[in-house]
Amino acid sequence: MKKSRLIALLSALMILAAMVVVVGCGSDDDSSSSGSGDFQSELITEGTLTVGSDIPYAPFEMGQAPDYTGFDIELVNDIAERLDLETKIEDTAFDTIFTDVAQGKFDMVASAATITPEREQAVNFSDPYFESEQALLVPPGSDITSVEDLSGATVAAQDGTTGEAYANDETDAGQVRGFPTGAAAIAAVVNGQAEAAIIDAPVAEDAASKGQSGFEIATNIPTGEYYGFAFAKDTPELLSAVNGALSDLIEDGTYEKLFKKYFNATPPASITDGTASADTGTTEE
């Protein structure tokens, strides 16, 4: 009788131990499926977020290496810190930046890059983090006051940007001249190389607020553009992690603080309320 009870007790203990092992394995599987920490394997360098950016593009990207600053840069640094990563910023030309990240040269792109269907064929974008318009720049006293007045005119824009695409596709400009930077496009108006320029409104407004002369903003052009961070198609866990950190910094007020610092304004509800859709962006810039 005692022997039977001992056998029964041992059998019960063995069943209990097996249950513990099964539960333990189940926990490991759940942890793995959550994707927690999986993004590390998608990084070029473990522990470091390598970011491609076209610098300068004030107020989004500014300064000299390695001490870059700007709205995008501060956002990226905050996101990296929340993910326990170091940040490495690499300056690169905007007209090749999406090809570069798609080919694995960077982990992500942070360069005031508008989300567009064309770009989404090559890369994945984060949730939108900025709502933007284009601006029409002209010399002071110009007869050009709207895009309808651009017929036959020479219009400057930055290479590879939505400003350049807009000038080509939505105006009757006689010639659209591409320049390597937004600052060079502004300079083309100031120096008489172009009769107008179309660039991102925040960039034009930043230049004007800093006292740059020789141009004025004739009008802003509503285009329904949203900026996002760009990623290679094969880094979904990194994209998810960045989206999570971006959501956190919006919710805890960090985003609003940075927005007011660089734009002296309250951020739009489309970003802070999360109502902006990555599918609504039309397309840096």
Look at residue 277 in the predicted model and tell me its pLDDT. 64
pLDDT exceeds 60 at position 34: no
Q: What is the pLDDT of residues 135-175, one digit of tens each?
A: 999 999 999 999 999 999 999 999 999 999 999 999 999 99
Instruction: Mean pLDDT check: name the lowest of 190-194, 259-263, 265-269.
Output: 265-269
Q: How far apart are the first and last CA of the chain?
A: 84
Across the range 220-244, mean pLDDT stands at 96
Distance (Å, whole) CA 57 – CA 235: 26
Across the range 50-67, mean pLDDT stands at 95
Q: Kindly list the domain boundaries of the chain, sorted by start residue.
A: 40-129+228-272, 133-223
Residue 144 makes CB contacts below 8 A (sequence gap 6+) with: 136, 138, 150, 153, 195, 196, 218
Look at residue 274 in the predicted model and tell me its pLDDT. 81
Look at residue 21 in the predicted model and tell me its pLDDT. 39
pLDDT exceeds 90 at position 212: yes
Q: Which superfamily is assigned to 40-129+228-272 in CATH?
A: Periplasmic binding protein-like II (3.40.190.10)
Q: What is the pLDDT of residues 75-90, one digit of tens each?
A: 999 999 999 999 999 9
The CA-based diameter of the chain, rounded to the nearest angstrom, is 108
Predicted TM-score of the model (pTM):
0.79
130: helix, strand or coil: strand
Fold: same for 40-129+228-272 and 133-223: yes
Q: In which residue are the tokens 């940007």 written?
A: 161
Residue 37's pLDDT band (boundaries 50, 70, 90)?
low
Q: Which superfamily is assigned to 133-223 in CATH?
A: Periplasmic binding protein-like II (3.40.190.10)
Mean of per-residue pLDDT scores for the chain = 87
CB contact at 8 A, 105 and 96: no
Give the helix/strand (H/E) hosting 176: strand 175-179
Residue 133 makes CB contacts below 8 A (sequence gap 6+) with: 200, 201, 220, 221, 222, 223, 225
Residue 276's pLDDT band (boundaries 50, 70, 90)?
confident
Q: How far is CA 68 from the centre of its chain?
A: 16
